[in-house]
Amino acid sequence: MKKLSVIALVGVGLLAASCNKDKSAGTASTATEQTVAESKGEVLPVDVATSVVNWKAFHKGGMAPRWGTLSVKSGDLSVEGGQLSAGNFVIDMNSIKVDPASVTEKDKKPADLEAHLKNPDFFDTAKNPTSDFKITSVTDLKDTPKDAVAGANKTVSGNLTLSGKTINVTFPAKVDVTDNSAAVQAKFTVNRADWGIKFGTSETDPAEWMISKDIEIAVDVKAKK
């Protein structure tokens, strides 16, 4: 069980932008939970069929990455004066998928890793079936980090709730607004231990030492009339 747990932890996380072995997203700045932006102007429902959250996690040093997806269950984006002003989306944690291409060991199966990520060792989806993100502010991006998502033009802050704990995160994002739609794309890295997802973070256990605390998250949320 211990061996399976350590292997499974490589898949812990919500989220990522690419399939290479190097971390490709900058670390999001974090703060305590903030006041959520008021929904005003035109409120567009999130298109759950085309919206997705990707995740990626690693052994330390970027080795043996696991990656996959999570489905967006619901949400909306608010547009006022041609600008994104507020929004939120809910993630279905029971939808977590491990991409088979990331499981190279012959004795491991993606379905087994998915089941373990859902149990109390990790996200305990029976107790916490959803996670969510609620925008607290959207401002113009002044300086674009080299590891930001392509086309980033805004700085987005929002309350990210994982495993029942809420922390405010800030990251560069590409925000597109048209007459009939709005979209947010972003990629960033978080420390899973900040949300109390601490399995495998003990530096005293040689096996657990090999598991990185970093999780890459890639958000692609679309809303339309």
**pLDDT beyond 50 at 14:** no
Q: Are 158 and 173 in contact (CB under 8 A)?
A: no
Residue 18 banded pLDDT, cuts 50, 70, 90: very low
pLDDT of residue 201: 61
- Rounded distance, CA 141 to CA 48, Å? 27
User: Which residues have CB under 8 Å from 54's CB, separation 6+?
Assistant: 15, 16, 17, 67, 68, 69, 70, 217, 218, 220
208: helix, coil or strand?
A: helix
Structure tokens at 191: 């420390």
Helix axes 110-118, 2-9, angle to 10 degrees: 90
3-state SS of 71-109 is EEEEEEEEEECCEEEEEEEEEEEEEEEECHHHCCCCCCC
**Structural domains of the chain, with CATH:** 35-224 (2.40.128.110)
Q: What is the pLDDT of residues 165-212, one digit of tens each?
A: 999 999 999 999 999 999 999 999 999 889 988 776 666 766 556 667
Q: What is the pLDDT of residues 50-89, one digit of tens each?
A: 999 999 988 666 667 889 999 999 999 999 999 999 999 9
Q: Are 198 and 184 in contact (CB under 8 A)?
A: no
- Residue 184 vs residue 107, higher pLDDT: 184
- Rounded distance, CA 19 to CA 66, Å? 8
- Rounded distance, CA 11 to CA 110, Å? 10
C-alpha Rg value of the chain to the nearest Å = 17
